[in-house]
Structure formats: structure tokens, C-alpha cells
Chains A and B, each alone.
Chain A
């Protein structure tokens, strides 16, 4: 019998990829297509959902063709997706209404402040585990319904569907307007602010507060479990899983037990700590989120520290400043100097995420002197990711009461040795990279493969995890303390930059 594979579709912020994995969790082929980032106004970031689906229809066959396989060798599809990016579409035509509003979009700034009112941003935290910020979906849905003429009436009549990107993909994989399934999973639903974190159902109090009609919402399913059988792209293949990309990475790193943590370094970076079946409420700016749910088993939860701008700071250094030609070259440039020369870059491009959650903050370069060269700035760009991780780890340790003993890392930036060493130095723990850095896709594949019986259980998956690289801490503690103090001083200087009267209407 021909070898069988699981196809992971990772619908990310910058691109859509299909990766095939074999039974031992090894990557066998990759196909990828980027989509356009649309910036119609300052602070707005949109995607064309039609373009994204079109990319899915191309990368999946391309990945299969790359190894000379046939669609019959695919046993399941697992979907991982950029989270919180919100789309409305027409139930009858299946066509998107406007563009998808991405997680980086800050158009709901003012709305979020209004919604918080006198109770503050934690107004809904008890119900949904999240603070009110521009990051999550519900304010975005509200904004779209308020700003598109006639849409609210149509939504209330049941003509409009809402979904994050996995819902859009599941709907299209299963026929779209011709009988497509309108569903999401618990991890994605936990990022909307509309799902009750305890019952794992849409909560009427939240729906009312955000003024979102229930009729537009998808059905909430477990993350791992057969959603439906695809009729498009891979007809006859079961969709076995859908998870938000960061939860998928936690799954791919086989962090299946309370106390296990991973950090994924991409456009943004996300540290997730598995807290078992317990809902831990953070006092230090971490988010409470669903880690995954397998079939009808109880859901597992996680604490999450989200950093909005990490890899995207390197992209800005490349595209915005033109200092380097490719993202990887930043390491070469950074190695032309010994240290940061006293410069610190705090990339609060659209406010600061965890643990500060300051939407009015904007970025600074602190400590500039005539001594600073582009090499120092390159260091400061990379170190910004390290310092942001340290802030999150500090907060996580305080919330969980357990000090991190090692950090499992993955994502594109783990190819940067200078950054990985800096992380180990700063956190003062070993930083460990697994054999498959594509953990987002791997996690989606694992969850889908479990659902269809391709893999028997979690222990089997755990035995697939192997260490591919490890960085040990070497930094002098006094220097670590000074550097961190300098960073914290720089962070203070980003606060209160945007004043309420500056905000766009």
C-alpha cells in the first residue's frame, strides 16, 4: 500500500501553506503562497479572503504533486489559522462581504475604549478570559456591522455568516454556498470574546454586550474531531482538525501536560503555557485561552503571552528601512558589532501586547547616540524579541507560581542563532528547538491524524518529538539585570503616546 500522509493547511498572516507529514511526524513536502497585505488606511490591515481560498486550492495540490503522491494518499486535513482575523460573508452567494479584518488592525481603538467604559478593559475577562483590546474578533464584528449599510438587518435575518479563517476554509472545503459547513473550533472561538470560557458556548451576555446577532455565528466544535468530509480540493478527505495557529504549535510541540510551555517566533510571537483542565486567571496580563479539545474529552486550557511585533520588526528593518535585503541577513549585520551600543527598540507599532496591553503606546528607539551604527540597530531589533519574551516569562512565572526550566521554541526566527543565544542568556534557561520547526502545521496534522485514527494517542505523538538544537545560557547576571532595566526604562517611554483626541473617527 502506498504511504499515507496528513495534509496540514496553515493559513497564516502572510501566507498559506500546505505541509504533508508522514506517520512519524516527519515533514515530507511543503507548498506555500503569499497573499497581499492591504493597508487602506493607517492602522487598518486587511486580507482578501477570496485570494486566500484561491491560494489554498493551489498549495494543497502542489504539496501532493511535489512528492509524486495522489490525493488518495491523504488521510485527513488539519487546519491551523491566523487567529482573530474576522470575515463576514453572504450565506447565499458564499462571497465575502468586504475584506477580512486582520488581528493587527486597530480600527476598533475607540470602540474598545467605549466598550470598556468605566469598568475598564477587564470588563468581560471573567466570562471570556480576555481583556478588551483591538486584538480580538468581537469588536471587529461590531465595527463591520455598524459601518456597512444594511448589514446588521441582513445579519439578523440570517443572511450573513461570520467566521475566523478556519471557518472560511471549512465552509469552502465543504462546498461553500452549496451546503458548506459553518463551524469553528473551541480554540478559535476562545479568541472572539463571545465564547464563555467555562461552558465553551456562545454567551448571550457577551453577544448582547457586543451587539452581535447569534445567527451569524458558527457552530463550536472540538479542535480534534471529524468536522466533515471535503467536497472541494481534496474530495472525500475528512477534515480532522482546526486550531488557532498558536494552539496548534503547542500541540505540535507535544505540550500535552500542565506546566509545559512553548514559544513560537513568527510575525508576532506567542508563549503558551499548558495549565491542564484548570482555568488560570492571570493577574499579570496573560490571556486565558483554550489550548485544545480532543473529541468529547474535557478541554485543556492555557495561559498565553502575546507579543505583537517580533518577526515583523525584522521585516520593517528590511522593507521599511531597507537596511538588509533578506530577513536572515539581520544576523550577519548584528554580528558586525559586539553589543547593542546602548540602543533599545520597543516595537509598540500598534500598542503593546502582553503583559502591558497598552493600545495607546507607540514605538521608540531609546538610547540613540552618534555611536550607534546600523549593526547596533540590528542587534536592538533582535533583542527586542528577547526582552519581550523575558517580560512574558516573568509574568507567566508569577501567575503560575512555577519557574520555567527550559523554553521550547519554534517558528521561522529559530533559524537565527544570535537571537536564540540571546534568549537563553536573558531567560537564564536552556532554549530548545525541536526537530520540526513547523510546529503550527505539525500540530494541525497531529490533531487531524488523531481524529481519524492515523495516530493512536498522545503518547505516540510525544515519542515523535526530538531535540534538534539547544542553546545554553552564558550571560553574566549583572549584565542581564542592567540590560533588562534599560529595556524596561525604554518601554516606559512608549506609554501615553496616542491621546484620545488623536484617534481616527
Chain B
């Protein structure tokens, strides 16, 4: 049996104290109340601040519970924040791969496009930010669906003859995504198109969205119709870069 985690116990104690103090508390107050060294308490409140559970007042001297604490079921990352963190890396992926790049997140069982970068060939293209994609028929969707613990989409609509419509097959596919860390799609949404995507992990490993590219199969896949390894590496590196950006300074 693994033991309990002391720092989580202490964090819980800090949260209880803050919840009971409408004017907020300083690090010294918390340390005195819990019989802990100031540096220990400081580490705990800083972490809680980083994950968004506590806020600092204007002077920086006092901490109090943030309103996010009461809305834990909601997405912790604002979609517009995700876009602004992703934009440089998504641009870079589009220019390196030569393909359309999208960043998406799961909203009410669908993938909402948070950011869209045109294919860099200066052809006519329309921004589709704010539109939704079916999660079971796109790589972007599978990359977020694989880590979603809420209910799976009940009706799996077929977009092409290759769309996965069998829930068991979809579960297997998502297990593959989890085991290798990236997702693919081959003519499952639109004939002659394929896509690759990877999850973006925020603080604590929470998947906050996915980034991926899509294009014609002859460009996305090799001669044996397998998704090109160099593109997979680029997509994964992009997801990691965005994740690093998200974790560095919240």
C-alpha cells in the first residue's frame, strides 16, 4: 500500500485556513497556524497560486482562495489563453510542415477549433476558429478524447466509409493514442485527407487541448500509407513546446 502524500495534506490544510479567512492570510500566518516553516508554506502557496486555487492581493502580502476553486469542473485554461500561448508554435509547425495547423479543445463532446493557421501556400482559405469538429473522426479529436474521463460520444456518425463508428473499435484506437502519445486519422472525416495530432499537457499533466496538422494523404503519409514519422515528430515537439510555455509562467 502506498502511503499518503504529506504535501497534499498540508496543501489541504492551507486551503481550509484560507477558506476561513475572508481577508486572506500571509505566509507567516499560515506557518504559525500549521506549525510549519515559512519556506515550506511559501512553496505550498506558490504552487497553489500556480494551479489557480489561490490568489495574491495587490500588495502580494496576503493570499486568499480564488474563485476558480469553486469552479473545478470547468476548464482551467481559458481558450483564448491557450491560443495566445500556442500561436508562435503553431505558426512554426505550419511553416515547417507546409500544412494546415489547428489547436482544439474538447467542449461538450465536440472539438472546438481554438486556433487555425492557414496552409502556407497563400491560397484562399477561411479561418474556422470557433467551429467544431467531430472528435471520433479527426486526429485532433482523438488526441483529446483519449484523455477525457467523461462520457464518450454516444452516436458515432460516419463521415466517410473509413470513419470509426464502432465504440469498441474507438476505445481500442484511443488506447493506442494513449500508449504512444499521438493520434492519427486517415480519410475518416474527408476523403483524400489525413491528419496527425498530439495532446497538450498543462500543469499536473492535465490535457488542455491538442495541436495537429491536416492535409492531403500523399503529403501526410508515406508510400505505404503510413503517417510520416517526421511530421509526427514535429507535431509532438510542437505540443511539448506549447505545454512548456503553459507550465513556465502561468
Interface residue? B91 (CB, 8 A): yes
A332 pairs with B80, CB closer than 8 A: yes
Which of B80, B95, B116, B117 has the most chain A CB within a 10 Å cutoff?
A: B80
Q: How far is B5's CA from A494's CA once the two chains are assembled, in angstroms?
A: 58
Contact between A328 and B88 (Cβ–Cβ < 8 Å)?
no
With beta carbons under 8 angstroms apart, the residue of B79, B80, B118 that contacts A468 is B118
A331 and B117 within 8 A (CB) = no
Give A438 to B126 CA distance when docked, in angstroms: 22
Chain A 406-431, CB-CB to B under 8 Å as 1, else 0, gives: 00000010111100000000000000
Give complex CA distance A151, B79 in Å: 52
Q: In the complex, A178 Cα to B122 Cα: how many Å? A: 49
For residue A57, CB closer than 8 A to chain B, the reply is: no
Contact B88 A467 (CB under 8 A): no
In the complex formed, the residue of A with least CB distance to B248 is A32
Tell me if A207 is interfacial: C-beta within 8 Å of chain B. no
Give every chain A residue within 8 A of B125 (Cβ-Cβ): 470
Task: Judge whether A329 is part of the interface by a CB distance below 8 angstroms.
Answer: yes
Check A415 against B95 for contact (C-beta < 8 Å).
Answer: no
Q: Is A466 at the interface (CB under 8 A from chain B)? A: yes
* Chain B count of residues within 8 A CB distance of the other chain: 24
* Distance of A26 Cα from B92 Cα, bound (Å): 6
A290: Cβ under 8 A from any B Cβ = no
A414 vs B117: C-alpha distance when bound (angstroms): 12
Given the known interface contacts A467-B122, A468-B117, the answer about A415 and B87 at a Cβ–Cβ threshold of 8 Å is yes
Report Cα–Cα, A414/B80, bound state, in Å.
11
Interface flags, B77-88, vs A, CB<8A=1, else 0:
011110110011
Which residues of B are found within 8 Å of A330, using beta-carbon distances? 80
Q: Which residue of B lies closest to A470 (CB)?
A: B127
Could you tell me which residues of chain A, from 20 to 45, have a CB within 8 Å of some CB in chain B? 24, 26-28, 30
B130 cross-chain contacts in A, Cβ below 8 A: 417
For A445-463 the 0/1 string (1 means CB < 8 A from B) is 0000000000000000000
Q: Is B61 close to A, CB under 8 A? A: no
Q: How far is the CA of A118 from the CA of B92 in the complex (A)?
A: 54
Q: Is the CB of A415 within 8 A of B84?
A: yes
Partner of B88, one of A30, A416, A471: A30
Q: Which residues of B contact A27 (CB under 8 A)?
A: 88, 91-92
A interface, how many residues as a size bin? 20 to 34
Chain B residues with CB under 8 A of A26: 92, 95-96
Determine if B121 is an interface residue (Cβ-Cβ < 8 Å).
yes
- A435 lies within 8 A of chain B by Cβ: yes
Asked if B94 lies at the interface with its beta carbon under 8 angstroms from chain A, I say: yes
Contacts of B116 in A (CB 8 A): 469
Q: How far is the CB of B99 from chain A (nearest CB, A)?
A: 12
Collect the chain A residues with CB atoms within 8 Å of residue B94's CB.
435, 468
Give the residues in chain B near A436, CB-CB below 8 Å: 91, 95
Alpha-carbon distance A65/B88, docked complex (angstroms): 18
Are A328 and B91 interface neighbours, CB within 8 A?
no
A24 touches B83 (CB 8 A): no
B120 in the interface (beta carbon within 8 A): yes
Is there a chain B Cβ closer than 8 Å to A327's Cβ?
yes
Evaluate contact between A468 and B91: CB separation under 8 angstroms. yes
Is residue A496 contacting chain B, with contact meaning CB distance below 8 A? no
Closest to B120 in A: A466
Q: Within 8 Å of chain A (Cβ to Cβ): is B129?
A: yes
Question: Which partner residue on chain A sits nearest B83 by CB separation?
Answer: A415
A326 touches B91 (CB 8 A): no
| Contact B80–A435 (Cβ < 8 Å) | no
Contact A469:B88 (CB < 8 A) given known A329-B81, A415-B83:
no
Q: Establish whether residues A328 and B83, one from each chain, have CB atoms under 8 Å apart when the complex forms.
A: yes
Q: Mark A309-331, 1 if CB is under 8 A from B, else 0.
A: 00000000000000000111111
Q: Decide if B81 touches A468 in the complex (CB within 8 Å).
A: no
Which B residues lie within 8 Å of A415 (CB)? 80, 83-84, 87
Query: Which residues between 101 and 118 of chain B lie within 8 Å of chain A, taking CB atoms?
Result: 116-118
Contact residues in A for B79 (Cβ distance below 8 Å): 332
A320 to nearest B CB, angstroms?
Answer: 10
Note all chain A residues with C-beta closer than 8 A to B80: 328-332, 415-417
Select B78's contact among A326, A417, A438, beta carbons within 8 Å: A326
A328–B78 CB distance below 8 A: yes
**Chain B residues whose C-beta falls within 8 Å of the C-beta of A331 in the assembled complex:** 80
* A184 CB-CB contact with B under 8 Å: no
Query: A435 to B120, Cβ gap below 8 A?
Result: yes
Chain A residues in the interface with B (C-beta under 8 A): 24, 26-28, 30, 326-332, 412, 414-417, 435-438, 466-471
Q: 19 more A-B contacts (CB under 8 A) besides A327-B84, A470-B118, A470-B125?
A: A27-B91, A326-B78, A415-B83, A416-B80, A416-B84, A417-B83, A417-B127, A435-B94, A436-B91, A436-B95, A438-B88, A466-B120, A467-B120, A468-B94, A468-B118, A468-B120, A469-B117, A469-B118, A471-B127
Report 24 cross-chain contacts, Cβ distance below 8 Å, ordered by A residue: A24-B95, A26-B92, A26-B96, A28-B92, A30-B88, A328-B83, A329-B80, A329-B81, A331-B80, A332-B78, A332-B79, A332-B80, A414-B87, A417-B127, A435-B94, A435-B117, A436-B91, A437-B91, A467-B120, A467-B122, A468-B120, A469-B117, A470-B125, A471-B127
